[in-house]
Amino acid sequence: MAFLFDSFWRAVVYCMHPRVIALSLLPLLLMGALALGLSHWYWDAAVAMAHSWLDSWGLMEGFWGWLANLGLGDAKAYVAPLMVVALVTPLVVVVSLLLVAMLMTPALVSLVSQRRFHALERKKGGSFIVSLAWSIGSTVLALMAMVASMPLWLIPPLVLILPPLIWGWLTYRVMAFDALAEHASRAERTEIFRRYRISLLGIGVLCGYLGAAPAIVWASGILFAAAFFVLIPLAIWIYTLVFAFSSLWFAHFCLAALERLRAEVPMAPARLDAVEVLEAPSSLAPSPDDRPPLLESVDK
């Protein structure tokens, strides 16, 4: 547990580093351009599609009538944008995670390595292509699990457990792999994943709960449409900063675990047995038969 908290507070301190703050703005620029482009060309169409889908759902007519009796006759105008944002949010989270993994994680791992683990050998157990394939494969599995578990979200306790658990699993798979890609061999990475699976999953789940914080900003974007284009980039930056913190936490934890793993392998020093050392002079002394003839004549 101390090992876990040590990497946690180090990640918090590193988040205040100017280089980390500057790096967190790079994915924000890309995702901000993407979000603005999608909202400019597809927002009205997406909201209209959601509104028409709500109109065509006959099972909800009684619910809309009940809201109208409460004075909320135009409730669909609020529900439709909320549906669009709810559907777009997982996509933003996934894109943010992939961008952080591809753009920020190598730089953050290098920062941690230079400041704490400069003597750690780089065995390069994962290339960029392997890391990208691993991230995409894990993301696809997480999205499939998310879609399959959506009916269970109607059960109040599970809606607070399943999504963070799935996002935590995805974060752990992507971040831990990238944290070890440069320094660990494939065998070392497999051993660390096996030995620290619960701790790594716990880090991922905690980071998943932290990633839910920007949902407040998303909700503010719905309620205050005038500030929508300010609040949404803010939410994207918060997502990016959370994932940057996650990357730093995994980097500190995984590299420390790798250092500990390599320290467990004993080095076999080349040493002589004490008996051999004591017997060495007598064994190296020349025998009488091996002495030169000149010495033999002197003895005589």
Q: Which of 137-141, 175-179, 294-298 has the lowest mean pLDDT?
A: 294-298
The mean per-residue pLDDT over the stretch 126-136 comes to 83
Residue-level pLDDT at 10? 94
Over pLDDT 70: what percentage of the chain?
Answer: 68
Q: Which of 19-23, 52-56, 160-164, 224-228 has the lowest mean pLDDT?
A: 224-228
- Sign of dihedral through CA atoms 264, 8, 11, 189? positive
Count CA atoms within 13 Å of residue 50 on its CB side: 20
The end-to-end CA distance of the chain, in Å, is 81
pLDDT one-digit tens code per residue, 264-277: 865 444 444 444 44
Residue-level pLDDT at 14? 93
Residue-level pLDDT at 225? 52
Residue-level pLDDT at 60? 66
The encoded tokens of residue 76 equal: 């669909």
CB-based contacts of 158, cutoff 8 Å, min separation 6 = 149, 152
Over pLDDT 90: what percentage of the chain?
Answer: 17
- CA distances to 112, 179, 205, 290 from 248, rounded to whole Å, are 8, 9, 15, 70
Residue 207 has pLDDT above 70, yes or no: yes
Distance between CA 262 and CA 123 in Å, rounded? 12
Q: Which of 22-26, 100-104, 186-190, 280-284 has the lowest mean pLDDT?
A: 280-284
Residue 40 has pLDDT above 60, yes or no: yes
pLDDT one-digit tens code per residue, 238-250: 777 887 898 899 9
The mean per-residue pLDDT over the stretch 106-120 comes to 90
Residue-level pLDDT at 196? 92
Residue-level pLDDT at 299? 44
